[in-house]
Amino acid sequence: MSVSPPPPAASRRRLLFILLAAVVVVLVGVAIAVSAQAPRTDRQAATTPPSPSSAAAATDAPGSASPASASPTEEAAKPAAAELLDQANTVCEMRVTEKYPTAEVQPGTKSNAGAKSGTFETTGSYTDPTAGKPAPTAFRCSSVNASGSWTVNLDRG
C-alpha cells in the first residue's frame, strides 16, 4: 500500500493556516493580558486605606453617617481628593530628595488638605546615613496645587 504525498499547494495552505492560527492565539493572549491590567489598577485604588484626616472629615460632616446618604457628587469627589493627597505626598517627598539626594524617605508620609482649596500640609520623616543622620529626621512641607501645577516649600527638614 502506497500513500501519495499531498500536492504542494495543499501543504502550503495547511502551513499558512497553522501560522494564522498561531498569530490569532498570540493576539488573544495579548488582549487578555492588557485587559487584566486595568482591573488591578482599580483594585489598588479601592484598597488604598483612607487617611486619618479624611476619616475624621467624614465623621465630622453632617449627614455622612451612612454611605447611602452621600450624594453622587461627593462620591465622585472622594477619588479625586485621594489622588490630590497622594500627589501632595509625592511632590513633598521629591522635594526632600532634591534637597538631600542621599536621603531615604521613611514610610508613613501623610498629607492633610488645608482649609483653602488646593493647599496641603505634609509631614513625614527621612534618614540619611550617608550624611551622618541614621536616626529619622522629621520634615514638613506646604504645597499648593494650582491648575495641576505644584508649588512646594520644605518648611522643616
Q: pLDDT tens-digit profile of 22-46?
A: 999 999 988 888 877 655 544 444 4
The answer to whether the pTM exceeds 0.75 is no
Mean pLDDT of 98-127: 86
Local confidence band at 156 (pLDDT 50, 70, 90 cut-offs):
confident
Domain boundaries, the chain: 76-156
Average pLDDT, the chain: 76
Cα torsion through 45, 49, 50, 51, rounded to 10: -120
DSSP strand pairing (119-128 vs 104-105)? antiparallel
Q: pLDDT: is 149 or 60 the higher one?
A: 149
Q: Which of 115, 155, 117, 153 is nearest to 139 (CA)?
A: 155
